[in-house]
């Protein structure tokens, strides 16, 4: 058996050479905290206005540097949403900023801004000029406070936009409502459930149940707290709930064609024992902190188990007794069953 972390954390060299997941990121995916921090935009035209409409969804302190403002930006200034610097750009105007957007479309100005930002270690984005960018802005699916972003690493922005449009039909608008309730209840859940494992179990079950329901937009804090009190043992002695064992097989070797139910179990399992032939693309559905175990001899028949299979049975019983969800994932075996290990 070979133990390793989920493929998005650690892809074996042999798998990486056969799978696109082996390509390294040109940009590190991250969200930058801009609340109560200075963000500067150069330019007062329509391109700058597009960036501002997104920035105004944040709590950043926004400064626009431009000789003139288009009508949209002028309205933002009139309503006190932004600060306007009318004077020509000088280096000190970006002092204290965490991000700078150059939307002025002026190559001479870009050179000056680039030097000024580099001297001050400030991240710069030059709109539609990727070689000059320290960061890029992905396509965004807005379900605030949930934000789903899609990036092609600046290779194909149009593809990112198309993917975002398709996802609009997948994620319901009620996702915003659910996330806000979870935000309000986060401290309460942490108080009731003192260990990380129990909290993880509760939130996984809650979100799975809610997202599968047709009435997600009607879920209230009362519903969440009721689920929480049912989940929490009433006695002073907290016991770890027994984990689940899910045995299944797949007849395809790509994530796109995996049945939704199986994909959901892959996403929520703590430990996944799998055939060596299962593709990294499928295993990449696992959580980043999940443990993956490559097994050469997965139990598939009712015959006498091999020594390795017997060891696997013992490991599975041990892990589920600790409250962990375990999955056995094999290839080309049709029988599927779900059982709780007790």
Which of 131-135, 182-186, 204-208 comes out lowest in average pLDDT?
Answer: 204-208
Same fold, 2-22+242-340 and 38-135: no
At residue 42, does pLDDT exceed 90? Answer: yes
Tokens for 130, please give them. Answer: 């990727």
pLDDT at 112: 97
At residue 301, does pLDDT exceed 70? Answer: no
At residue 304, does pLDDT exceed 80? Answer: no
DSSP codes joined into one string, 105-146: --HHHHHHHHHHHHHTT-EEEETT-GGG-S----EEEEETTE
- Options 3.10.20.90, 3.40.50.720, 1.10.3720.10, 3.40.50.1980; CATH for 38-135 is 3.40.50.720
Nearest to 61 by CA among 24, 98, 112, 22: 98
Identify the band that residue 303 occupies on the pLDDT scale cut at 50, 70 and 90.
low
326-331, strands of its sheet edge to edge: 2-5, 291-295, 271-275, 326-331, 244-250, 337-340
Higher per-residue confidence, 96 vs 169: 96
- H helices of the chain, in order, are 13-16, 46-55, 71-78, 107-119, 157-167, 174-192, 196-212, 221-231, 260-268, 280-283, 307-321
Please provide residue 107's backbone torsions phi and psi, each rounded to the nearest 5 degrees: -55, -40
Higher per-residue confidence, 47 vs 19: 47
Over range 180-196, report the average pLDDT.
89
Cis peptide before 337 (omega within 30 of 0): no
Identify the band that residue 215 occupies on the pLDDT scale cut at 50, 70 and 90.
low
Q: Identify whether the C-beta of residue 157 lies closer than 8 Å to the C-beta of residue 149.
A: no
Over range 26-45, report the average pLDDT.
94
At residue 216, does pLDDT exceed 50? Answer: yes
**Per-domain boundaries in the chain:** 2-22+242-340, 38-135, 174-231
What count of other Cβ atoms lies within 10 Å of the Cβ of residue 13?
8
Identify the band that residue 169 occupies on the pLDDT scale cut at 50, 70 and 90.
confident
Percentage above 90 pLDDT, the chain: 37
User: How many whole angstroms separate alpha carbon 172 and alpha carbon 143?
Assistant: 8
What 8-state DSSP symbol labels residue 241?
P
Q: What is the average pLDDT score of the chain? A: 83
Residue listed under structure tokens 């540097």 = 65
Please return the burial class of 304, using the count of CB atoms within 10 Å of its CB with bins 0-12, 13-18 and 19+.
exposed
User: How many whole angstroms separate alpha carbon 267 and alpha carbon 287?
Assistant: 6
Higher per-residue confidence, 32 vs 325: 32
pLDDT tens-digit readout, 1-27: 666 656 555 544 444 434 455 678 888
At residue 321, does pLDDT exceed 80? Answer: yes
Please provide residue 149's backbone torsions phi and psi, each rounded to the nearest 5 degrees: -115, 150
pLDDT at 220: 85
Among 123-137, 184-198, 287-301, 302-316, name the most confident range: 123-137
At residue 276, does pLDDT exceed 60? Answer: yes
Over range 143-164, report the average pLDDT.
87
Identify the band that residue 302 occupies on the pLDDT scale cut at 50, 70 and 90.
low
pLDDT at 157: 84
CATH number of 2-22+242-340: 3.40.1010.10
What count of other Cβ atoms lies within 10 Å of the Cβ of residue 64?
26
Nearest to 176 by CA among 214, 137, 219, 208: 219
Please give the biggest Cα pair distance in the chain.
83
Over range 240-250, report the average pLDDT.
79
Among 273-277, 286-290, 330-334, name the most confident range: 273-277
At residue 299, does pLDDT exceed 90? Answer: no
Identify the band that residue 213 occupies on the pLDDT scale cut at 50, 70 and 90.
low
């Amino acid at each position: 058996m070979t133990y390793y972390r989920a493929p998005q954390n650690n892809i074996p060299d042999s798998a990486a050479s056969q799978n696109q997941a082996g390509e390294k990121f040109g940009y590190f995916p991250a969200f930058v905290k801009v609340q109560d921090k200075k963000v500067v935009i150069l330019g007062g035209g329509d391109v700058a206005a597009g960036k501002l409409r997104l920035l105004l969804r944040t709590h950043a302190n926004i400064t626009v540097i431009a000789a003139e403002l288009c009508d949209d930006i002028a309205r933002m200034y009139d309503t006190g949403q932004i600060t306007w610097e009318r004077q020509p750009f000088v280096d000190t105007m970006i002092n204290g900023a965490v991000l700078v957007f150059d939307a002025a479309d002026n190559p001479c100005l870009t050179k000056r801004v680039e030097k000024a930002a580099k001297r001050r270690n400030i991240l710069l984005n030059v709109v539609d000029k990727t070689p000059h960018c320290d960061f890029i802005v992905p396509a965004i699916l807005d379900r605030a406070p949930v934000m789903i972003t899609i990036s092609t690493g600046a290779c194909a922005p149009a593809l990112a936009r198309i993917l975002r449009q398709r996802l609009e039909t997948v994620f319901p608008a009620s996702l915003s409502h659910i996330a806000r309730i979870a935000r309000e209840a986060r401290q309460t859940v942490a108080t009731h459930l003192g260990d990380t494992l129990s909290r993880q179990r509760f939130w996984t079950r809650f979100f799975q149940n809610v997202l599968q329901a047709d009435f997600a937009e009607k879920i209230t804090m009362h519903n969440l707290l009721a689920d929480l009190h049912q989940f929490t043992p009433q006695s002073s002695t907290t016991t770890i709930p027994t984990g689940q064992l899910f045995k299944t097989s797949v007849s395809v070797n790509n994530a796109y064609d995996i049945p939704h139910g199986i994909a959901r179990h892959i996403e929520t399992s703590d430990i996944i024992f799998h055939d060596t032939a299962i593709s990294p693309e499928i295993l990449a559905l696992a959580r980043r902190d999940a443990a993956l175990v490559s097994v050469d001899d997965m139990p598939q028949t009712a015959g006498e188990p091999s020594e390795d299979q017997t060891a696997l049975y013992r490991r599975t019983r041990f892990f589920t007794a600790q409250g962990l969800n375990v999955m056995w994932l094999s290839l080309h075996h049709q029988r599927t069953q779900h059982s709780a290990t007790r």
